[in-house]
Amino acid sequence: MSRKVDSKFVWMDGKIVTADEAKVSFFSHAVHYGTGVFEGVRCYDGALGPAVFRLPEHLERLRRSARGYFMEYLWTDAELTKAIAELIKLHGFRECYIRPLVQTGEGRMGVRPRECEINAFIAVWSWGAYLGPEALEKGIHAAIVEQRKYLPSALDPTIKACGHYLNSVLATKEAAARGYDEAILLNGHDRVAEGAGENVFVVHGDTLITNGPEESLLPGITRDSVLSIAHHLGIPVRIAPMTVEDLLGADEVFMTGTAAEVTPVGQINGRTIGRGGRGPITLQLQTNYLDAVRGRLERFVHWLTPVV
């Protein structure tokens, strides 16, 4: 079978095996019920050489997500950090995407996990611009989809769980069927929640606005980075609920995420936003973000973990 990613080795419960040997049991609880949690992390080549962006924060969220589903794993963050560095060096990557994943493994069958082992895996692969090579400059076309983001009373949106992403899968399929690049989901109150895998920002005048966790979103690490950069640049920031009208009437809209980085949104539901591409504040934040991830901003160099 032809593999679509260039990952040659995978770390599995303390051992590095070839990608062909990286197999999961059919009887794994996660295969049947989606009981896994994961992170998406990037390694960038920059002033410090290959370095992983905000790795401690990603590993902290991985552990918090696992605990949210009663999945305690044995490996320390230091051991996972070492495994990630080993994989990157083994592949010879200067830049790559990193996927740590913890799953509920084989045990007694049934919805309630019983006597199940907990497995930890890590893979790395090359991954460029998530939404296309021109997206960072020209922007994307997004659709506000019918699929709603689940309410916090149903599932905790701050947990990055595998099964939760069925919500996003349906949203992206709907958006693609309508000819759009990405989906924007509303919450149960008809307010903006997030993209299928990104947080959403709008610019009105000189003010940057994004919504809070209570709006059914995963408060992303890239989101937090952009907010920190905005404060550093003196850009006024407001955290508040956002309506569809706020999106469609914005001067600029962009989306953030580890995969998407800082991606402008040029159109929503066929309606042009602002100038129809990357606006000036988006450009400023995007430029500073891409400088930060490559160690070119001394103020944020502490966000980087060099691959050594």
Report mean pLDDT in 10-residue bins for the chain, 308 residues: 86 97 96 97 97 98 97 97 98 97 95 95 90 86 97 95 97 98 97 98 97 96 98 98 98 97 97 94 98 97 97
Which residues in the chain are classed under CATH 3.20.10.10? 135-293
Q: 87 and 128 in contact (C-beta within 8 Å)?
A: no
| pLDDT of the residue at 3 | 79
Q: 16 and 87 in contact (C-beta within 8 Å)?
A: yes
| Tens-place pLDDT, residues 132-166 | 778 898 999 999 999 999 999 999 999 999 999 99
What is the length of the chain?
A: 308
| pLDDT of the residue at 191 | 98
The dotted CATH code for 135-293 is: 3.20.10.10
Q: Which one from 4, 23, 89, 160 is the annotated catalytic residue? A: 160
Q: What's the token pair of residue 118? A: 């907990």
Exposed/middle/buried for residue 308 (C-beta within 10 Å: 0-12, 13-18, 19+): exposed
User: Which CATH number applies to 9-125: 1.10.3720.10, 3.40.630.40, 3.30.470.10, 3.90.1300.10?
Assistant: 3.30.470.10
Which residues in the chain are classed under CATH 3.30.470.10? 9-125
Examine the residue annotation and report whether 160 is marked as an active-site residue of this protein: yes
Q: What are phi and psi of 83, to 5 degrees?
A: -65, -40
Query: Quick check: pTM over 0.75?
Result: yes
